[in-house]
Amino acid sequence: MIRSLHKNRELIWSLTKREVKSTYQDSFLGALWPVILPLMMLLIYTFVFSVVFQAKWSTSAGQETPPGEFALVLFAGLTPFNFFSAVTMRSPGLILAVPNYVKKVVFPLEILPMVIVGAAFITSLINVGLILIGSIIVYHSFPLTIFLLPLAYIPLILIALGLGWFLSSLGVFVRDVGQAVNIVIQVLLFITPIFYSADQVPGALKFLVILNPLSPIIDSFRRVLIWNELIDWGAWGMATVISALVALLGFAWFSATRKAFSDVM
């Protein structure tokens, strides 16, 4: 896996840039859309949850943040989740979309999930920039823990890569995978502590938070981008180990099944 990443690093970077550009190249505003879209969503969240619903973020200590901070906390949770969902929802049709690469060209197919992960990463960095600006506006300070952000990304990238390899391969053999993944992502959106704090989950349902690998990832993003706190190292370590295992198993599955792609397609 590492050898393939290193060997094809220039091709991965080239395809990633093309992936990002192709999304907006035919639009009038072009490269401005990756900034405009998340900015508009942040403004909408701020209006709906802070002005209309007067929502507040509850903590285990019983403290509540001012209403204006809820939208920022929500957006910080959605940033890694959108990264994850963008990769997993795109993966099932990834190989099917490039039959020429499978049948006629000697091409390192294993880098395709790396490309969409790279594109999702670039998009998420724009969101991170908006979160930092929001943190300065709300808290009147810059989070010093920003240097820990690369560590927060590690388990997110690993689990997205692993599922990308697994789902892109499975999608070749089972064409209904894409629809199933869409349903799972919608369910996962509401059982992941994005719109609410993990401390608000009733005791009988705590296992949903504990077993959800996205929970510590989202918590890490909020800690380093908003709350200026250190990462929960125990939860981060467990999430990283699980994500690394998912990445290794996903790559192993992809490598074992890729020889049958041409026969099925």
Cα–Cα dist 24/180, whole Å? 27
What pLDDT score does 1 carry? Answer: 81
What pLDDT score does 64 carry? Answer: 56
What pLDDT score does 54 carry? Answer: 61
pLDDT (tens digit per residue) in 168-205: 999 999 888 988 999 999 889 888 888 888 777 777 77
Residue ranges per domain, the chain? 2-264
Q: Over the Cα atoms of the chain, what is R_g?
A: 19
What proportion of the chain, given as a percentage, has pLDDT over 90? 37
What pLDDT score does 108 carry? Answer: 87
The number of beta carbons lying within 10 Å of the beta carbon of residue 10 is 8
pLDDT (tens digit per residue) in 82-118: 999 999 999 998 998 888 888 767 788 899 999 999 9
Segments of the chain scoring below 70 in pLDDT: 23-35, 38, 42, 45-46, 49-68, 104
Of all helices (H) and strands (E), which one includes residue 208?
helix 206-211
Please enumerate in sequence order all residues whose Cβ is within 8 A of that of 72, keeping only pairs 6 or more positions apart, or say none.
42, 46, 131, 134, 135, 138, 226
What pLDDT score does 185 carry? Answer: 92
Quick one: three-class SS letters along 231-243? CCHHHHHHHHHHH
Cα–Cα dist 243/232, whole Å? 16
Burial class of residue 246 in the structure, from the number of CB atoms within 10 Å of its CB (0-12 exposed, 13-18 middle, 19+ buried): buried
What pLDDT score does 30 carry? Answer: 53
DSSP one-letter string for 122-162: HHHHHHHHHHHHHHHHHHSS--GGGGGHHHHHHHHHHHHHH
Cα–Cα dist 217/155, whole Å? 7
